[in-house]
Structures are given as C-alpha cells and as structure tokens.
Structure 1
Amino acid sequence: MGILGDIGNLIMTPLYYAISAVLIGWHELFSLVLDPAGGMSWVLSIIGLTVVIRTALIPLFVRQIKSSRNMQMLQPKVRALQKKYGHDRQRLAEETMKLYKEAGTNPFASCLPLLLQMPIFFALFRILDQAARNGTAHGFLTEEKAVQFGQSEIFGKIPIADSFWSARVWGPDPNALVMMVAFVLFATMVVTSFTTQRQLMMKNMPADAMSGPYAQQQKVLLYVLPFVFAVTGVAFPIGVVLYWTTSNIWTMGQQFYVIRNNPAPGTPAFAAKEARDKEKAAKHGVVIEEEEPEAPTESERRPTQREQPKRQTRSARKKSSGGQNRPSQNKGDGK
C-alpha cells in the first residue's frame, strides 16, 4: 500500500493545488459581499469551481459531439459489417475499429468528459472531507481556510461536509434537514443525468442509429449511470454532491443548446430546427421554398431510341463474315 499511496499522492497533489487555487479565488471574490466564514461563500465557490472546470472542458465537449455524430452516421456501415463478419468476432472487431479510425471517431469519446472529471471529483472530496475531520489543509489552503471550509454551514444549519448517510447514522438524533437537502441534491443529479442522456437519444439520433452496438451503449448509459449516482450519492458530502449536480445541469444545458442550434442531419431535432427556421422566415416575410427535383431536360424526356446497325456494303459483309458460311472441311469425307 505504501507504493500505491505514493502513486496516489503523486497524481492527486497537482489536483489539490489546482482545485484549491480556484476555490480560494472565488472565495475571495464572494467574501467581498458575504461572510468569509459563512457557508454560502464556500457553496458559491464550489459552484464557481464547477463553472471553471466545465468551461475548460468545452473543447473536449465539442469533440465529443462530433464523435457522437460520426458514430450515428456510421451505424448503417457497422450493421453491414455485422452481416458480413458476424461469424468471425475477431475480424468484425478489427473491421469495425478500422471503420472508426478512418472516420476519425472513437466509441468511447462520449465518456471522456465524465472520466476526466472523476479525479477532480475525488480530489474535492478529499479536500473537503479531511478539512472537516481534522482541519487538514491541501494545496493552497491554509489551516485557517481549511477549518472554515470544513466547518462551513448553509444557512447556519446544514454542514456542507455532511452527507445523507452520515446524517442518518451518526449521532443520537438524525439531522433531518441535512438528509432532506442531500436527498434533493442527489435526486436532482440523477434526474439531470437521465434527462441529458435521454435527450441525446430521442432528439439527436437518426432512426437508423437506434439499433446496433452504439444504441445499446447509449441505453446502458441511460439507465446505469443514474443508478450508480443514486447509490453512491448518499455517501458523498453535500459540497461534493453540489459540484456533481451543478456539473450535470451544465451538461444538460450545454447539450440542449447544441442539439437545438446544430442538430445532426436526419434527426427529430434537425426537423424541428428546419420548422423553426421556416416559421421565423415567414414572420419576416421570407418564404423558404422546399427544394424540388430538377425538371428533366429535353434529351432526358425523349425515350431512348434503339441504336440501328450501320449499313455495310456487300463486300464488307462478306469480309466480316470471314468464312462463317464456308462449308466444313469434314463434310462429305465419309468419316
């Protein structure tokens, strides 16, 4: 465990400094109008931390959207490969990955924002948990700031270091207020996660992409992730669940904006955008005419005439026959 602990510290220490720097920056800003030792200044600092992290992940989110679109458009080709190499799993996997590589996409790109946020999530959990338990300071936090952060309370009654589970188990009297706030937060987290994934499947996936491995992956994420959040959320402090919930709300809003304004072709969202564009143009007196197939030209309308063979002279016909009418040499030989 010593080696594993050293590796963990090596990974987490830079995150402690990065997260604490952002937290302190927001805290100093909110302390201009709020009590520095109050819970609201630290709560808003956690929300500010979420905004900074999600803003930094926007390029990755754009890449995720592009990869998701490519995956949708490739589903007919993927199904064709399944029919062709269904009997050979290894060849099917090789050809499928080759197809993804040629298209410049990755089936796991949709999970990247979540995977990159997990170390940040656990780093924030460690900072808050250890600050609350023994006032341990991490990163740029001083001992005074660590104690403030760990002992801060929302409205003077709800410690942000408490969780639904700890409020139910520890102490002679369960803290019903903490339990209620924690429950509302992780319920919101579950609902926003489910809504975000369902929004992607129902509005921004073409009909021919609703079957196959990619659709199955999306369905798994639709039901498994909210379940995981619901099970694990009860054990995390309110401050950490607040970060998680804010991040989910950001994701839902960001995805709604992208799907509404730049939907994938052939999807319900694309049809809805076309309808909105026509309605908006009609309000301004502009009529958007649907594209009609071009009328066939005169040569295209004229029925194709059968090409007549060219006339040949008698000598040319004899020459072309080349002796085809010449009697067989064996004819009448008696053999």
Structure 2
Amino acid sequence: MSLDWIYFAISWILLRWHALWDAIGISDGRVLGTNWAWILSIVFLVVTLRVILFPVFVKQIKSQRAMQALQPKVKELQEKHKGDRETLQKEMMELYKVEKANPLMGCLPMFLQIPVFLGLFHVLRRLNPDNPRPTLYGWTADQFRDATHSALFTVPLPAKFGSSAAELTQLGYTGAGVTVKIIAGILVLTMMATTYLTSRQMILKTGWAEDPQQKMIQRLMLYGIPLSLLVSGSLFPIGVVIYWVTNNLFSLAQQQWVLRKFPPPAMANAKAGTSSARPATSTTVAKNGAKSPVQSAGRGLFGRKQAEPEAATPVVDTKALAPKPGAKPMNPKKGTRPATKPKG
C-alpha cells in the first residue's frame, strides 16, 4: 500500500505554515544559527494535527473512565477464575463487549500519530541537496533548497545523532561533528523525558489498572517506549525529534486540562470499604491539634452559624462497676438513714 497520500498531506500542512511565517516577516534568515520559519512550521504542524485528533483524545478519556468503572467487576472475575487464565480472558472480553468498553482505546491517539510520524520522517529524510526529485509531494525547488539548508543552532534539521561526517558534508554542514551530537543528544533526552512524563501524568491521575492486560500496556507506555527511544532516537532527523518533543509538551498541557475538567472517579484510587471524602464538622481538628478559626467559632464556610452537635449519651462500662472477685459486698445505701416501717 502506497503512503504517498500521507507524504503529500504532511508536506502540504508544513508548507502552508511556512508560507504563513514567511508572509508575516519571519524569513529563512538565521537568527542564533536557526531558521525559525521552518522550526515554527514543524511546531504548528503538531498543533494542527492535535486539533484534528482532539475528538479522538476525548474518546480516549471516556474509554478510560469506562474501564475504571468496570474495575470492581474485573476484580470479581479475577477472584472467580483465579488460576484459569483462558476462562478469565474470555469472560473479560465478554464484559467489555456488553459494557461497550475498549481496553485498547487508550492507545488509539498514539497509533493514529504513527503514520504522521513516519510521513514526517520520510519527508525530512529527503532533504538532501543531491536529491534528483526536489519537487516531489508538492514542494517547489526553492522551498526544497531552503529546507535542506535550514538548521537549529547551525545543525541541519535533516541531520541525526548518528550522522557520519560524509552525510553532514553532503548536507552542507561545515561545523564540528560534536556539535551535532550535543544538540541531537539533548533533544533525544528531552524526547525520552517528556514521553515518560506524558504517560506518568495519566497513570498518576487515573491509577494503575486492575486488568493485567491494561496494566501491562501501562507499564509498556511508561517504561518501554521511553527506553526504546534511547536507541531509535539516534536514527531520527533533528526535525522529527523537534516534532516529537513538541507533541509531548502539547499532550502534557492537553491532559492536564482534560483531567482537571473531567477528573477521574473517586473510586478509581479509593480503597475498598473507605470513603473518598468525609463531611467536615465543627469538631474537626487540624494535624497540629488546634481547631481552625472558622471551626472554633462554630461557623460554616460562608459565615453561617452551624447547628450545635447533639451531646452523645455516655456509655456506662458495666464491667468497671461490677465488684472485683474476693471483695466484700458493699451496701450502696450505707451511711443513709434506714427506712422506717409504716405504722399500723
């Protein structure tokens, strides 16, 4: 299956943003050794795609909420079919089908961005002065030449951490090779860190899944993917790493907004048999043992006087009142005047 349509789409968005920055006066002239028009084009390529994928992201959050609501039922099935993994998996798939929950929905936005990532990787890899087909995918010869010589702090955007001296020379780079490795290395480490933080942010807010399959996916996204970037990141053009880092930063901000606006249910992180919130009373005592001014005044949050709590009936300890073994019986009426017999 040809992926040319992806390459055309990525190129079209990238070139439209570049034309916009060029129109408002951000040219391809270097400032601090950087062609900011192309850097901003990559950044806003991310913004465009994330806006398009926002409905999918909302579906991802809804699916995660549905999976959290099913955790008690999942735990019951795990207890019921302990030791019978085949039956457990069958029952869980049936549960997901009935409740219309999809455990793989949480990874859908990432899967949808894979073609975009591959498309940008292919487009940037073509940026070579010796490329015999510079006008492929809707590029003009001038756009292709400018993009080929674009740089971040003098390092060409098509360059990689593992680029050889011959490849850098082919890109027209005349600086030190160690500069390329420093810039690319910092970007790769940033890419790894932001990838980890993106997954960690979601897991801390929603909690670890009870379903072993879901938990395995969470661990893979939290640890496996960032570690894999340590090796594969050296093969990515710097422009692609900029795209990935920008995408992660956008994800962190978007997740923070969504999780604050639509917080996970309290049951997701609460232990069984405990209440997620307790009503405050006028006798609530702070950790340092002192009552707050509002509480000590017996007033509520808005200054309204609260009803005084009813006095609790003291509990009589009958064991403490009972005579001890071997003790002499005592007359409770001793010391009082004996009752007189009625006359008559």
Aligned mate of 1:183, from 182, 185, 190: 185
Q: CA deviation at 1:253?
A: 1.1
Conserved in 1, the CA contact under 8 Å of 2:129 and 2:145? no
User: Quick one: distance in 2 between partners of 1:288 and 1:205?
Assistant: 37
Aligned mate of 2:27, from 6, 28, 35: 35
- How many equivalent pairs are there? 267
**Match for 2:39: what amino acid?**
V
User: Quick one: distance in 1 between partners of 2:236 and 2:66?
Assistant: 36
Conserved in 2, the CA contact under 8 Å of 1:131 and 1:137? no
Equivalent positions of 1:239-278 (< 5 A) are: 239-266=239-266
Aligned mate of 2:159, from 142, 162, 173: 162
Q: Note closer, same or farther for the CA distance 1:93–1:227 as it changes in structure 2 (3 Å cut).
A: same
Identity of aligned residues (%): 36
Q: Note closer, same or farther for the CA distance 1:138–1:94 as it changes in structure 2 (3 Å cut).
A: farther
Q: Which 5+ residue runs of structure 1 have no aligned equivalent? A: 1-6, 276-281, 290-335
1:152 and 2:150 matched: yes
Question: In terms of mean alpha carbon deviation, does 103-112 or 21-30 score higher?
Answer: 103-112
User: Quick one: distance in 1 between partners of 2:56 and 2:77?
Assistant: 29
Q: CA deviation at 1:180?
A: 1.7
Q: What is the TM-score with the length of structure 1 in the denominator?
A: 0.71
1:200 and 2:202 matched: yes
**Match for 1:14: what amino acid?**
W
Q: CA deviation at 1:23?
A: 0.9
Aligned to 1:75: 71
Aligned-residue Cα RMSD (Å) equals 3.0
Conserved in 2, the CA contact under 8 Å of 1:168 and 1:175? yes
Question: In terms of mean alpha carbon deviation, does 53-62 or 253-262 score higher?
Answer: 253-262
Conserved in 1, the CA contact under 8 Å of 2:125 and 2:158? yes
1:21 and 2:12 matched: yes
User: Quick one: distance in 2 between partners of 1:189 and 1:20?
Assistant: 23
Conserved in 2, the CA contact under 8 Å of 1:167 and 1:174? no
Conserved in 1, the CA contact under 8 Å of 2:63 and 2:101? yes
Question: How far does the alpha carbon of each residue in 1:107-163 deviate from its partner, in whole angstroms, 9 at most, with x for none?
Answer: 1111111111111111111111112263433322123212221221234x1110101
Question: In terms of mean alpha carbon deviation, does 107-116 or 126-135 score higher?
Answer: 126-135
Conserved in 2, the CA contact under 8 Å of 1:131 and 1:146? yes
Question: How far does the alpha carbon of each residue in 1:28-52 deviate from its partner, in whole angstroms, 9 at most, with x for none?
Answer: 1111312246522111101111110
User: Quick one: distance in 2 between partners of 1:196 and 1:160?
Assistant: 25
1:137 and 2:135 matched: yes
Conserved in 2, the CA contact under 8 Å of 1:204 and 1:264? yes
What's the secondary structure of 1:107's corresponding residue?
Answer: coil
Question: How far does the alpha carbon of each residue in 1:202-251 deviate from its partner, in whole angstroms, 9 at most, with x for none?
Answer: 22227xx4674423321222100101122211111100111111111111
User: Quick one: distance in 1 between partners of 2:259 and 2:112?
Assistant: 23
User: Quick one: distance in 2 between partners of 1:268 and 1:85?
Assistant: 24
User: Quick one: distance in 2 between partners of 1:147 and 1:288?
Assistant: 70
User: Quick one: distance in 2 between partners of 1:148 and 1:77?
Assistant: 58
1:44 and 2:40 matched: yes
Question: How far does the alpha carbon of each residue in 1:155-214 deviate from its partner, in whole angstroms, 9 at most, with x for none?
Answer: 4x11101011116786698522222221221211111111121122222227xx467442
Conserved in 2, the CA contact under 8 Å of 1:168 and 1:179? no
Q: Note closer, same or farther for the CA distance 1:76–1:137 as it changes in structure 2 (3 Å cut).
A: farther
**Match for 1:159: what amino acid?**
P
**Match for 2:201: what amino acid?**
Q
User: Quick one: distance in 2 between partners of 1:125 and 1:133?
Assistant: 17
Question: How far does the alpha carbon of each residue in 1:262-287 deviate from its partner, in whole angstroms, 9 at most, with x for none?
Answer: 21111569x79x99xxxxxx9xx964
Conserved in 1, the CA contact under 8 Å of 2:192 and 2:227? yes
Question: In terms of mean alpha carbon deviation, does 48-57 or 98-107 score higher?
Answer: 98-107
Aligned to 2:288: none
**Match for 2:244: what amino acid?**
W
Q: CA deviation at 1:288?
A: 11
Q: Note closer, same or farther for the CA distance 1:134–1:262 as it changes in structure 2 (3 Å cut).
A: same
Q: What is the TM-score with the length of structure 2 in the denominator?
A: 0.70
**Match for 1:189: what amino acid?**
M
**Match for 1:181: what amino acid?**
I
Conserved in 2, the CA contact under 8 Å of 1:154 and 1:160? yes
User: Quick one: distance in 2 between partners of 1:288 and 1:214?
Assistant: 47
Relative to its length, the structure with more helix (as a share) is: 1
Question: In terms of mean alpha carbon deviation, does 37-46 or 108-117 score higher?
Answer: 37-46
User: Quick one: distance in 1 between partners of 2:303 and 2:197?
Assistant: 33
